[in-house]
């Protein structure tokens, strides 16, 4: 069997970036939970739908053109001015088109004020995505992590003030995204001298950018599909709240994919990326499934009492979306067609919509989780993805560590006392981080056994 000693661990800031993005995600979802106490169910549904669309837009921005910029900047002979100028104007053009699309969607369930706020946040993200690509390409992962954390904290703070102090409802809640997005403009002075007038860059850059955008757009649409459909169907605010909490593993997936992308080529590097994500993602999923009722009651008001019913499905869906995101990052490192991934996203949305239409919220919850897992299973057979899974399951250390995480989840299931459950989550979480990311276990020797 392949040993972990032969596989390059996902380092280069992956662990710290994972902590920052996961913490950012937790801030987002604590913010969403807090808003259940300040918004009516109808207002919350509008906020959740708008937030999901902004997540789609942000996901496309984060790993489409910026990843092309990062890859090119990492090459020693790159014309930095050319690729940075291309990325900047391409992001603005793509961002403007996406803004029109998501604004139109918001108007199907929200007010013109909410649509205006979301449009403004989307346009700011257009410039911010170039900033993130520049930082990634110049290996400034620490600054990326800091900006992600500050962006989330500022967004939640401003949004909470607008909702609870100024009583601006869902419009105020969404306005927090506008203020938070401004933080992503901070790196602009680092690369503004590289940005020139709009020009036609290399055709290969344009083709690569469009392909990356299509692939990441398919992931983003899949990730937000259930929440947006719930807003369209109406009466599913409890499911939306559960779905928001269930998305936490996606932040770990994004961190692993972002840090590992420049080196994703061999089967062993893909297996290492899958290992890091699954150790953390499975533990997060188990924690959400076993969340004691007393803690759920403390987190959610009585009007969202049905969250406990939907959370297990939402947690499994979140794990599957994270896997989908990581598998698609393997495809982004190649030059093949993106048609299959886009088609799978369309089929997924169609099946989930049909399930929701036929069986209401129950159909939406079960269908989303089931069809997401089937989508991941289908992608696992692709030539660019299959070697990573073989490397993952061909390593005894990986199987042992995954078994350890599953054992921790069984312990969580038995820990019905909230204090005991929190203790197991805290200690188990530290152990899982040490297993998943070598930078958190510097004395660990990765030797064959």
In percent, the amount of the chain with pLDDT more than 90 equals 33
Residues 146 and 21: beta-carbon distance below 8 Å: no
What confidence tier does 296 reach under pLDDT thresholds 50, 70, 90? confident
Distances (CA, A) of 19 to 14, 24, 70, 273: 9, 8, 21, 15
Q: Is the pLDDT score of 446 beyond 50?
A: no
* Mean pLDDT, all residues of the chain: 84
pLDDT computed for residue 442 by the predictor: 53
Looking at the chain, the whole-number percentage of residues with pLDDT higher than 70 is 90
Q: Is the per-residue pLDDT at 222 higher than 70? A: yes
Those residues whose C-beta lies under 8 Å from the C-beta of residue 420, and which sit 6 or more positions away, are none
pLDDT higher at 310 or 138? 310
More confident residue, 5 or 20: 20
Domain that includes residue 340, residue range: 4-440
Distance CA 154, CA 65 (A): 26
Q: Please tell me the total count of domains within the chain.
A: 1
- Angle CA 369–21–375, to nearest 5: 25
pLDDT at 405: 96
Look at residue 1 and tell me whether its pLDDT is greater than 50.
no
Nearby residues of 396 by Cβ (< 8 Å), 6 or more positions away: 1, 3, 449
Mean pLDDT confidence for 366-394: 93
State the Cα–Cα distance between residues 255 and 248, nearest whole angstrom: 12
Q: Give the highest mean pLDDT range of 108-122, 209-223, 326-340.
A: 108-122
Confidence at 220, pLDDT banded by 50, 70, 90 = confident
Is pLDDT above 70 for 15?
no
Residue 449 inside a domain? The answer is no
Q: Predicted confidence band at 2 (pLDDT cuts at 50, 70, 90)?
A: very low
Instruction: Determine the distance from the C-alpha atom of residue 52 to the mean position of all C-alpha atoms in its chain, rounded to a whole number.
Output: 11
Instruction: Identify the CA nearest to 320 among candidates 253, 228, 420.
Output: 253
Tokens 């073989």 label which residue? 390
Count of other CB atoms within 10 angstroms of residue 198: 13
Structure tokens at 24: 């950012």
Lowest mean pLDDT, pick from 209-223, 257-271, 409-423: 257-271
Q: What is the pLDDT of residues 74-107, one digit of tens each?
A: 777 778 888 888 888 888 888 888 899 889 988 8
Is 205 inside any structural domain? yes
Nearest to 368 by CA among 304, 312, 306: 312
Q: Cα angle at 196 between 194 and 197, to 5 degrees? A: 165
Alpha-carbon Rg for the chain, nearest whole angstrom, is 21
Instruction: Give residue 300's region: left, alpha or beta (phi > 0; psi -120 to 50).
Output: beta
Q: Residue 214: is it exposed, middle or buried by C-beta count within 10 angstroms (0-12/13-18/19+)? A: middle
Query: Three-state SS for 47?
Result: helix
Range of weakest confidence among 165-169, 196-200, 281-285: 196-200
**Is there a domain that residue 268 lies in?**
yes
Confirm whether 446 is domain-assigned: no
d(CA 133, CA 131): 5
Q: Which residues contact 427 (CB under 8 A, 6 or more apart)?
A: none
The rounded distance, in Å, linking the Cα atoms of 410 and 431 is: 15
Rounded to whole angstroms, how far apart are CA atoms 173 and 15?
30
* CA-wise closest residue to 239 among 300, 191, 291: 300
Q: Are 21 and 252 in contact, with CB atoms under 8 Å apart?
A: yes
Query: Under a CB-based contact definition with an 8 Å cutoff, are residues 379 and 344 in contact?
Result: yes
DSSP string across 202-236: -HHHHHHHHHHHHHHHHHHHHHHHHHHHHHHH-S-
Q: Does the residue 98 lie in any domain?
A: yes
Residue length, the chain? 449
Confidence of residue 444 (pLDDT cuts 50, 70, 90): very low
- 447 within some domain: no
Class of residue 269 by CB neighbours under 10 A (exposed 0-12, middle 13-18, buried 19+):
buried
């Amino acid at each position: 069997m392949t040993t972990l000693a032969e596989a390059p661990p996902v380092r280069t800031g992956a662990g710290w970036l994972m902590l920052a993005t996961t913490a950012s995600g937790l801030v987002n979802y604590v913010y969403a939970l807090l808003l259940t106490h300040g918004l009516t169910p109808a207002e919350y549904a509008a906020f959740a739908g708008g937030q999901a669309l902004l997540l789609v837009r942000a996901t496309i921005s984060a790993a489409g053109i910026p990843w092309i910029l990062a890859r090119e900047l990492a090459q020693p002979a790159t014309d930095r001015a050319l690729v940075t100028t291309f990325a900047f104007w391409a992001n603005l053009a793509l961002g403007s088109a996406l803004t029109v699309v998501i604004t139109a969607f918001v108007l199907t369930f929200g007010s013109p004020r909410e649509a205006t706020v979301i449009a403004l946040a989307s346009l700011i993200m257009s410039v911010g995505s170039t900033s993130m690509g520049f930082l990634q390409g110049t290996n400034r992962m620490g600054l990326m992590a800091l900006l992600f954390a500050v962006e989330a904290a500022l967004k939640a703070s401003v949004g909470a003030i607008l909702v609870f102090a100024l009583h601006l409802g869902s419009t105020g809640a969404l306005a927090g995204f506008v203020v938070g997005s401004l933080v992503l403009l901070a790196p602009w002075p680092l690369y503004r001298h590289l940005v020139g007038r709009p020009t036609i860059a290399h055709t290969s850059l344009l083709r690569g950018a469009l392909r990356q955008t299509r692939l990441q757009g398919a992931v983003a649409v899949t990730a937000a599909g259930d929440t947006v459909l719930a807003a369209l169907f109406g009466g599913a605010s409890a499911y939306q709240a559960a779905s928001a909490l269930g998305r936490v593993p996606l932040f770990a997936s994004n961190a692993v994919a972002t840090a590992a992308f420049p080196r994703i080529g061999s089967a062993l590097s893909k297996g290492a990326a899958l290992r890091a994500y699954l150790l953390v993602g499975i533990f997060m999923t188990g924690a959400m499934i076993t969340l004691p009722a007393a803690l759920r009651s403390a987190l959610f008001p009585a009007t969202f009492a049905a969250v406990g019913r939907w959370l297990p499905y939402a947690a499994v869906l979140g794990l599957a979306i994270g896997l989908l995101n990581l598998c698609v990052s393997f495809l982004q490192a190649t030059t093949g067609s993106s048609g299959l991934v886009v088609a799978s996203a369309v089929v997924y949305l169609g099946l989930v919509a049909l399930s929701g239409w036929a069986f209401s919220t129950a159909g939406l919850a079960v269908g989303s989780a089931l069809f997401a897992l089937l989508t991941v299973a289908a992608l696992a057979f692709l030539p660019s993805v299959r070697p990573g899974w073989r490397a993952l399951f061909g390593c005894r250390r990986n199987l042992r560590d995954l078994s350890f995480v599953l054992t921790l989840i069984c312990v969580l299931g038995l820990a019905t006392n909230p204090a005991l459950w929190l203790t197991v989550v805290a200690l188990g979480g530290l152990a899982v981080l040490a297993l998943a990311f070598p930078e958190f276990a510097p004395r660990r020797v990765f030797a064959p056994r």
